Amino acid sequence: MNAVLFLFLVVILLFVSVVWGWYFYLKIRNKERMALIEKDKDVSEIYARPKTSFSFPFPWLKVGIITTGFSIGWMTAILIVELGMRLPDGNYTIGAEPFILGILFLSTSVSILIAYFADKPKNKA
């Protein structure tokens, strides 16, 4: 059997089994709720999500800003090194590695400062 066809069948069977399992889960849950309603039980108390006292809001804004700053610094450093630091014989004028690290650290630190000031109004409350 062709490997691509086999992989296609496996993916289709996986999808079908997940949909089938979800369908029967919903069907059984509906039957259980109907049985509880017939017995005059309160369904909302049984299926209510437990309230947690600890909630940690993940700082997605800060992570996104810092990752973007790092990526922009990486691309800038590579472009400057490849386009501007080569001599006509192909050698570099100065070492490229310290320059790349310097640009990376500079752009990441600037993005950390931007993330701090972007999140500052949330920290006051």
Q: Are both 107 and 64 inside the same structural domain?
A: yes
Residue 118 is predicted with a pLDDT of 82
Residues 6+ apart with CB under 8 A from 96: 81, 85
Which of 6-10, 33-37, 70-74, 121-125 has the least mean pLDDT?
Answer: 121-125
Is the pLDDT assigned to residue 41 strictly greater than 90? no
Q: Are both 65 and 100 inside the same structural domain?
A: yes
Q: Are both 113 and 79 inside the same structural domain?
A: yes
Q: Are both 68 and 42 inside the same structural domain?
A: no
User: 27 is in which domain, residue-wise?
Assistant: 3-46
**What is the reported pTM?**
0.46
Instruction: Please tell me the distance from the alpha carbon of residue 26 to that of residue 101, in angstroms, as a whole number.
Output: 54
Q: Are both 41 and 72 inside the same structural domain?
A: no
Q: Are both 64 and 119 inside the same structural domain?
A: yes
Give pLDDT tens digits for 52-108: 666 667 787 888 888 888 888 888 888 877 776 666 666 656 666 777 788 888 888
Q: Are both 101 and 74 inside the same structural domain?
A: yes
Q: Are both 120 and 67 inside the same structural domain?
A: yes
